Amino acid sequence: MFQNVLVPVDLTDTHQRTLEIAAELARIGGGSVTLLHVIEVVPGLAFEEERDFYERLAEAARTHLAGLGKQLDQKQVAWRAEVVFGNRAVEVVRCASEAKADLIALTSHCIDPLKTGAGWGTLSYKIGILAQCPVLLVK
């Protein structure tokens, strides 16, 4: 069913349920999971000026992704990790397209139905609108 599942994550521990679902979907389809972390570049600040800062962030991200990857190893699901720099929504959609992902599994928050205008600018909303493949929002 799903051969290539992209799971964008930040450095929090809020992605456990998403990771479990992505792993199961990939396992059923004999596919793999790509763990993606996007480091947002500070607008107006040249990347070269803060190379050490960004490299420390990238190292922390690689360590976090390796920990998530160990969980996928335990579930016997193939995985790889990728750390990129740029705008989070744009980079998630770009990476999904380049990797030919057939699903993006994304942790999202619940929106209060009484406050329907809130949450329209969230990362998950932007990815859901821009992505060319199906997007699974896990709440």
Which domains, and CATH codes, for the chain?
A: 4-138 (3.40.50.620)
Above 80 in pLDDT, residue 6? yes
What average pLDDT does range 16-28 have in this prediction? 97
| Residues near 59 by beta carbon (within 8 Å), at least 6 away in sequence | none
Above 90 in pLDDT, residue 45? no
In the numeric block, which tokens belong to residue 56? 């420390």
Q: Each residue of 70-118: pLDDT tens digit? A: 999 999 999 999 999 999 999 999 999 999 999 999 998 777 777 766 6
Amino acid residing at 60: A
Q: Each residue of 48-75: pLDDT tens digit? A: 888 999 999 999 999 999 999 999 999 9
109 or 122: which carries more pLDDT confidence?
122
CA angle 18–22–27, rounded 5-degree value? 150
Residue 42's pLDDT is 86
41 or 5: which carries more pLDDT confidence?
5
Residue 118's pLDDT is 65
Give 77's DSSP letter.
-
Under the phi-then-psi rule, with left for phi > 0, alpha for psi from -120 to 50, and beta for the rest, what region is 121? alpha
